[in-house]
Amino acid sequence: MSASRADQLDPAVLAALGHLELVARWVVDGFITGLHRSPRKGFSVEFAEHRPYIPGDDLRYLDWRIAARADRWVVKQFEEETNARAMIVLDVSRSMQWSGDPARLTKLGYAERLAAAIALLLIRQRDAVGLVRFDAGLRSVVPPRAQRAQWRRLVVALSGPGGGAASDVAGALMQAGRLVRRPGFVVLISDLLVDAEPVADAARTLRARGHEVLVLHVLDPAERDFPELGEALYRDPESQREVAAAPADVRASYQATVQEALAEWRGALGRAGARYAVATTDDPFGRPLRQLVGSNGRGAMV
């Protein structure tokens, strides 16, 4: 683990080295190191303002120059101390439990570890973070909190059951928005095997309420590329519809359809004011994390 940053390793290899909680810690430590920020201070530590010293404050942040010049004790506040409120919205429907290769994580396995890393990153910033897990209905709801014990609550919730045959993405987004009472942000992690417009409408509503909306579209590489194999029977994991096909006959048209679908999602969510990115399950976890926070280490997560 010392030779490479964990956030840059193959997700399946990393997952094999430890359980979800440990992997999330490795990923966050590596990600923060890559941003050249101290893990103790989060990844956004630009000075914001002073505030009066309160007994118990960390003495490292006292501004000694002001204390010496004006005989007034104040501490420096940083951007990380804005205490944002966030909800992670995780799709746990049946289609998320699929992988195109036994050597890769399922979409859900990938998404759970990514959600855990995002949650830990936020908690280390002292931000309040909560979780909604959903399929056809709500499976778990953990209201946002900033306490240290919140990390354990989220890890326990991530291990809960799922696997329903449908995904009510729009409903889960609206539930998350109700739990973030003042402007914050909502992170959706899903394979988005649903119609785009209801989800875009929900994102538009959240944006109107002042929330940032970040969408990570999780794909298995086989869903994107349609690998060349022999003739097979293909089954939709949610509708159970089956189609027999030879990949050589349909691969080009399939790939074009996938690109059209991704463009539709990008356009619909962009018009709604949401940020959108694709994460494939062979991507190191650091890549979608960078897409969330922006190239300068700030982005929408501060």
Which DSSP category does 174 fall into?
H
pLDDT at 294: 64
Tokens of 184: 């914050």
Backbone CA torsion sign across 204, 283, 246, 93: negative
Give dist(CA 296, CA 112) in Å, integer. Answer: 25
Judge if pTM exceeds 0.75: yes
> What pLDDT score was predicted for residue 44?
43
Tokens 């240290």 -> residue: 148
pLDDT value, residue 188: 98
DSSP characters over 197-219: HHHHHHHHHHHHTT-EEEEEEEE
Catalogue all structural domains in the chain, each as residue range(s) with its CATH number: 6-37+83-301 (3.40.50.410), 47-80 (no CATH)
**Backbone phi, then psi, for 143, in 5-degree steps?**
-60, 150
Question: Helix axis angle, 150-158 relative to 107-124, nearest 10°?
Answer: 170
- Residue 126: left (phi > 0), alpha (psi -120 to 50), or beta? left
Please provide residue 35's backbone torsions phi and psi, each rounded to the nearest 5 degrees: -90, 0
Residue 19's pLDDT is what?
94
Helix (H, G, I), strand (E, B) or coil at 184: coil
Q: What is the pLDDT along the chain (302 residues), one digit of tens a residue?
A: 545 799 999 999 999 999 999 999 999 999 988 764 443 333 344 555 677 877 766 677 788 888 888 888 887 765 444 468 899 999 999 999 999 999 999 999 999 999 999 999 999 888 899 999 999 999 999 999 988 789 999 999 999 988 888 999 999 999 999 998 888 999 999 999 999 999 999 999 999 999 999 999 999 999 988 776 666 676 766 677 877 766 666 778 888 999 999 999 999 999 999 999 999 999 999 999 998 876 333 344 43
Q: Say if residues 15 and 109 touch (Cβ distance below 8 Å).
A: yes
pLDDT at 47: 53
Query: Residue 67: what pLDDT?
Result: 80
Spell out the residues 6+ positions from residue 250 whose beta carbon is closer than 8 angstroms to its own: 226
Q: How far from 147 is each of 43, 116, 134, 151, 256, CA to CA, in Å? A: 19, 16, 24, 8, 47
